[in-house]
Amino acid sequence: ETGVTQTPRHLVMGMTNKKSLKCEQHLGHNAMYWYKQSAKKPLELMFVYSLEERVENNSVPSRFSPECPNSSHLFLHLHTLQPEDSALYLCASSQERTVPGKNIQYFGAGTRLSVL
């Protein structure tokens, strides 16, 4: 148990559906992250939030829309996805984003997304 909980664990959606992934951290951290893990590709950082403000968006298509209503919760809203978006989506949190010694990231178990 890492203190980072992701729901749902598995999701199958059609290309016209709208769904949301949820991440909750119980560690009192100030920074949260979304990563995408595709088969045979390194983990890709998608978004970074620090104190509920988005500080990084790594050229992610607009069909992925993050939301961070408070420092404990992070959402990833999905709409009109493509089959190539099928992947494991991992959420992580860290005490601080850039402070050495306080930026170890702790990960959730991920949401396995399949887009049909």
Partner 1 sequence: AQKVTQAQTEISVVEKEDVTLDCVYETRDTTYYLFWYKQPPSGELVFLIRRNSFDEQNEISGRYSWNFQKSTSSFNFTITASQVVDSAVYFCALSEASHGNKLVFGAGTILRVKS
Contact between 108 and partner 1 by CB under 8 A: the answer reads: yes
**Helix, coil or strand: residue 5:** strand
Residue count at the site for partner 1 (CB under 8 A)? Answer: 26
Of 8-47, binders to partner 1 (CB under 8 A) are 9, 40-43, 45
Burial tier of 79 (Cβ tally within 10 Å: 0-12, 13-18, 19+) = middle
Of 51-90, binders to partner 1 (CB under 8 A) are 56, 88, 90
Q: Residue 16 Cβ, how far from partner 1 at the closest point, in Å?
A: 27
* Residues near 69 by beta carbon (within 8 Å), at least 6 away in sequence: 52, 75
Residue 8: DSSP 8-state = -
Q: Name the site residues for partner 1 (rule: CB under 8 A).
A: 2, 4, 9, 40-43, 45, 48, 56, 88, 90, 92, 97-100, 103-110, 112
